[in-house]
């Protein structure tokens, strides 16, 4: 699932390809991915519009158009972007195809067909964006902010709390496991059990893991040091060698080291 680092790479890709381009027309293969407006209005309102800028907010990619509207892409499980020229280069699972004035195209792909695309007057109209917590790599995210998140939900387990986009933006299942491993915290630890020293450790782990991962997120596979990659190869904890434990926490498969993480 594209998390903050992967959406960041899609943002850079969009910037390199589609910014400044004018959309001639839009072909929609799977209208179900368009949440608002209707597919017909979506296609009509995009016709002739130029993409002037783009940014990321959490796991959303927000492209600004020359009429002030915003095209919002959420990649759910495995959604991606491909810029290409010829009809025969269209990738599998293309759900929406944007045709540009220079005869190149941008495909929005979504293998499981559950992505979310919106065209809105203002991104703040999207609830998930309006209620989103701070960007973990931004200046607004501080140790005090993180302490506040934990203090407001003392009984919640730390992993689901990190996955909650209203606490911190952009963290998903894989990076939450890496962050908690880096911070020596078990995923099922209650927020109230994490003392101030460990909150600092957690804060630094969030920033470090996400920042480092933006560089590797371009690759097909997760780095070999990741718990998910090591477990798949039958290897143990990258720190102490203990077998990696797997447990469902907050409904999500969580990998952790039973020895390093307390």
Point out the residues that are catalytic.
Answer: 2-3, 59, 252
Nearest distance from C-beta of residue 244 to Zn ion, angstroms: 8
In angstroms, the CA 143 to CA 203 distance is 6
Among 27, 55, 90, 259, binds Zn ion (CB under 5 A): 259
245 beta partners: 256
Residue whose structure tokens are 């017909």: 40
Residue 192 neighbours by CB distance under 10 Å: 12
Q: Smaller CB distance to Zn ion: residue 170 or 187?
A: 187
In the shown chain, the binding pattern of residues 217 to 246 toward Zn ion, with x for contact by CB under 5 A and - for none, equals: --------------------x-xx-x----
> Which stretches of 48-138 are DSSP H helices?
127-130
Contact assessment for residue 81 and residue 11, using Cβ atoms and an 8 Å cutoff: no
- Span of 136-144, 203-211, 213-221, 253-261 interacting with Zn ion by CB under 5 A: 253-261
Residue 191, interface with Zn ion (CB under 5 A)?
no
Q: Smaller CB distance to Zn ion: residue 2 or 187?
A: 187
Q: Smaller CB distance to Zn ion: residue 200 or 259?
A: 259
Residue 260, interface with Zn ion (CB under 5 A)?
yes
Q: Smaller CB distance to Zn ion: residue 55 or 239?
A: 239
In angstroms, the CA 97 to CA 81 distance is 10
Q: What CA–CA distances, in Å, run from 17 to 2, 87, 101, 179?
A: 19, 17, 13, 32
Nearest distance from C-beta of residue 43 to Zn ion, angstroms: 52
Residue 125, interface with Zn ion (CB under 5 A)?
no
Examine residue 37 and say whether the peptide bond preceding it is cis (omega within 30 degrees of 0): yes
Binding site for Zn ion (CB under 5 A): 237, 239-240, 242, 257, 259-260
């Amino acid at each position: 699932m594209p998390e903050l680092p992967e959406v960041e790479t899609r943002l850079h890709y969009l910037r390199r390809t589609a910014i400044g381009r004018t959309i001639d027309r839009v072909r929609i293969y799977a209208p179900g991915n368009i949440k608002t407006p209707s597919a017909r209005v979506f296609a009509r309102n995009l016709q002739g519009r130029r993409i002037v800028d783009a940014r990321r907010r959490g796991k959303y990619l927000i492209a600004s158009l020359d009429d002030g509207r915003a095209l919002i892409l959420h990649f759910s499980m495995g959604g991606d972007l491909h810029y290409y020229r010829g009809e025969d280069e269209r990738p599998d699972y293309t759900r929406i195809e944007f045709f540009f004035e220079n005869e190149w195209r941008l495909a929005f792909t979504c293998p499981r067909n559950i992505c979310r695309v919106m065209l809105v007057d203002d991104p703040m109209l999207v609830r998930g964006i309006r209620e989103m917590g701070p960007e973990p790599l931004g200046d607004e995210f501080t140790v005090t902010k993180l302490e506040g998140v934990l203090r407001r939900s003392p009984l919640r387990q730390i992993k689901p709390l990190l996955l909650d986009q209203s606490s911190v933006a952009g963290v998903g299942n894989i990076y939450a496991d890496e962050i908690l491993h880096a911070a020596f915290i078990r995923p099922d630890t209650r927020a109230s059990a994490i003392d101030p020293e460990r909150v600092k450790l957690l804060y630094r782990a969030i920033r470090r893991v996400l920042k480092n991962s933006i560089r590797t997120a371009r690759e097909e596979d997760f780095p070999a040091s990741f718990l998910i990659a090591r477990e798949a190869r039958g290897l143990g904890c990258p720190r102490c060698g203990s077998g990696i434990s797997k447990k469902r926490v907050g409904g999500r498969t969580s990998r952790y080291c039973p020895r390093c993480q307390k």
